[in-house]
Amino acid sequence: MLLFASLAERAGTRRLEVPVGEGETVRDIRDRVVARFPQLAPAVPTLMYALNEEYAREDAAVAAGSTLALIPPVSGG
């Protein structure tokens, strides 16, 4: 899993290896990571997600070996 910006600072890392169980969704993985890093919890309501570099919904299935990114509201430009 990839973390950026405020999330990376709060968690103290930009990259996590997370085991994926059969039939798990983006939401399942996120909840497991937030349980491990409770300081990420306040960001959850505004988060978006990217699965293998494409925006994905919370209920998208995650295959083993996928790259899931937590995407806080973007502010480029």
Partner 1 sequence: MLIRVTDAPLSAEEAAWAVASPAAGAVNIFLGVVRNTNRGRAVSHLVYDAYPSMAEKEMRAIAEEATARFGLEGCAVLHRTGRLEIGETSLVVAVSCGHRRESYEAGLWIVNEVKRRVPVWKKEVWEDGEEWIEGPESLGMQQAPASMRP
Among 28, 37, 58, 66, indicate the residue that binds partner 1 (CB under 8 A): 58
Among 12, 23, 38, 77, indicate the residue that binds partner 1 (CB under 8 A): 77
Maximum Cα–Cα distance for the chain, whole Å? 39
Q: Which is nearer to partner 1, 36 or 57 (CB)?
A: 57
Interaction site with partner 1 (CB under 8 A): 2, 4-6, 8-9, 26, 46-50, 53-55, 57-59, 69, 71-77
